[in-house]
Every structure is written in C-alpha cells, then in structure tokens.
Structure 1
Amino acid sequence: MIAQLIQDDEGKTTGVFITIEDWEQIKRNYPNIETFDYELPQWQKDILDERIKDLDKPEMLRPISDIFDFID
C-alpha cells in the first residue's frame, strides 16, 4: 500500500490518501472498520506525530539488523 500524506500550509499532516483498491482490501480484512468509533488519546497522537516527523530525519533511520543486534 502506498499512502500519500496530505499537509496544510504549515506542513502539518492533516490527512492520508490511499487508493480505492487499498480501501476495499482494508474493508475486506476489517469488515467493521466503517463503524469503528474510537478516538485516540492525545498522548498517543503526540507519539505518532513525533514518529512521523522522525521519518524525515535520515539519521533516525537504521537497518533492522542493527535493532535486532541491540535487542540481543
């Protein structure tokens, strides 16, 4: 799946665009998704926002093998 982030004039992500084919696949895998009504707490949104910002920082990205070595 390829998602496109939609940003406002200040560069803040305000939405996500996915293809209709991807949306149909999601609905097949999660049939109740359109009736799912749950608001994330603000602290979880803040964590996600920080992680999204880190994606733009190449120094924050490391090969998965490095992470596995660290865990071991």
Structure 2
Amino acid sequence: MTEDGRYLIRTGGLMRCCLATLDEWSARVAAGDAPPPQEGDTMQCKYHEGEGMRFRDGAWEWASSSSLGELG
C-alpha cells in the first residue's frame, strides 16, 4: 500500500474501467468497508465481464479469466 492508501498497480492489460474499479475498491478499504487484499485475491471489473484482476506480489495486475478459472 502506498502512503495515500492506494495499492500498487501493474497497468499492462488493464482498461480504464478496471482502474476505476480498483480506485473505488481502494476507497472502500481506506474507509474500513472492505478488507485489504491478500496474496492471490481476484476481482472482476465492475464495468465489464470476462477479464479481471489479481493481487500478486503486493500489486494488482490484469489476469485473464481463462488463466485463472472463474474470478471471484
């Protein structure tokens, strides 16, 4: 987590809507309304179906649904 409460992001493959999803989620974590991420957590983009994101080595990154199975 960075000093401003955000998490590191590897942007390759992520669309703007995925980044917006992560921004909204980070705000919820900062407010205490969502748990912080754990290694291996996955998240579906709020704005489109199919691909998603995973938390690996301290950062969120793009992850195809075919490489992860069904995203949570």
| Higher RCO structure (Cα 8 Å, ≥6 apart) | 2
Q: Which structure has more strand as a fraction of its residues?
A: 2
Q: Same fold (TM over 0.5)?
A: no
Q: TM-score range by the shorter chain?
A: 0.3 to 0.5
Name which one, 1 or 2, has greater alpha-carbon Rg: 1
- Give the TM-score normalised by structure 1: 0.32
